[in-house]
Structure 1
Amino acid sequence: MPNPRGKKPRWWRPGRTNWATVLMIVGALVIFGPVALDAASLTWRESEGCKVWMVVDGDTVKMTCPAEGPVSGRLLGFDTPEMKSRCPKELGMAVAATFYLRWQLWTAGKVVATPRGKDRYDRVLTLMAIDGEHVGARMIEAGLARRYDGGRRGGWCGADA
């Protein structure tokens, strides 16, 4: 509805940048853009088994499996740093691992996600290959993960890293 007095809204300032609006738009793109691309990548890549539609972190994804429907999946064979870490080094590595996995999925020709049971958090344990190569091997080779086959995990900061 037009302003009856013909005046522009208070937030409108010709020739001036409204930084609050710019920051809100950039923030929304940073938060929702990658997740939207995760889901959109299903349209241009071939999937077999469960269909991965969102990356949670470097070793956890959201996917839809034929037998179970929508589930959270823990990728097998490797471990990545945790996003909830208080250690700046680990947090930085966790963000890098998350976006590296996203990039692998966005540029994949074919993703094969094979369920292999469930863990204690009710996540579907999943073997995942991208274009015929185990995703864990790619993550480890990039220096963003380490081999993991269960049991106690070491930290990513300090003496046990």
Structure 2
Amino acid sequence: MGKPPHKKRRSLKWKFIGGVVLVLLLFGMPVGDIVNGFVKPHEGCRVWQVTDGDTVKIWCNDGSYPARILAYDTPELKARCSSELLMAVRATLYLRWLLWRAKKITVKIDGVDRYQRKLVILLLDGEGVARRMVEAGLACWYDGGRRAGWCETPRNGPANG
């Protein structure tokens, strides 16, 4: 006999809501990052985009640069397993939330890595972001060198190795 018409309308309603949420995630958060980066009091360069849990884009007097935040490592969005992807999304959203909550953002450049990203120390209200990310269980301490994967030990992160 077919489905009643109200079921079809309800399905379209949820597809519309899902589409709106997707658009907000894709465009709303990055726009929020830009506004936050240029409105907030800062010292040094401005953070104007969150790429993932340990990578941002910064705006300095001489231009825009990708930047790797020092002292910690988070899972990659180009994940090798579903648990790594889930943790990567959580770490990215948490870093964005920390930046949005901060009253003052300080970016100290401390060199360049092999991918030509600026290496930065990121302070939020005078406190290092690394400690907050590690304490939240979304990152592990990292001092350079080889990194272990996040798929093997997704809850506590990999050990430096």
TM-score, structure 1 normalization: 0.83
Which residue of 1 is the match for residue 125 of structure 2? 131
In the alignment, structure 1 segments of 5+ residues that lack a partner are 1-15
- Give, in whole Å, the separation in 2 of the partners of 1:51 and 1:44: 10
1:32-47 alignment runs, 5 A limit: 32-47=27-42
Pairwise CA distance, 1:30? 1.8
Q: Are residue 55 (structure 1) and residue 50 (structure 2) matched? A: yes
Aligned-partner SS, 2:147: coil
- Count of residues in correspondence between the two structures: 145
State the 1:66 CA deviation: 2.2
Question: In the TM superposition, what are the counterparts of 1:10-159 in structure 2 within 5 Å?
Answer: 16=9, 18-19=12-13, 21-67=16-62, 69-158=63-152
Indicate the structure with greater helix content.
Answer: 2
Q: Cα offset for 1:108?
A: 0.5
Alpha-carbon offset, residue 24 of structure 1: 3.1
SS at match of 1:158: coil
Report percent identity of matched pairs: 48
Identify the residue that residue 6 of structure 2 maps to in structure 1. none
- C-alpha separation in 2, matches of 1:26 and 1:146: 30
Q: Deviations over 1:80-104 (max 9, x none)?
A: 0001003111111101100110000
What TM-score, normalized to structure 2? 0.83
Decide whether the 8 Å contact of 1:39 with 1:54 is kept in 2.
Answer: yes
Confirm or deny: 8 A CA contact 1:49 1:66 kept in the other structure: no
Structure 2: which 5+ runs fail to align? Answer: 1-8
Asked if structure 1 preserves the Cα contact closer than 8 Å seen for 2:38 and 2:48, the reply is no
Q: 1:36-90 CA deviation, whole Å, 9 max, x = no partner?
A: 11111135421111100110000000111124x1000000010000010031111
Q: In 2, Cα distance between the equivalents of 1:99 and 1:21?
A: 23
- Cα-Cα RMSD: 1.7
Deviation at 1:129, TM superposition (A): 0.4
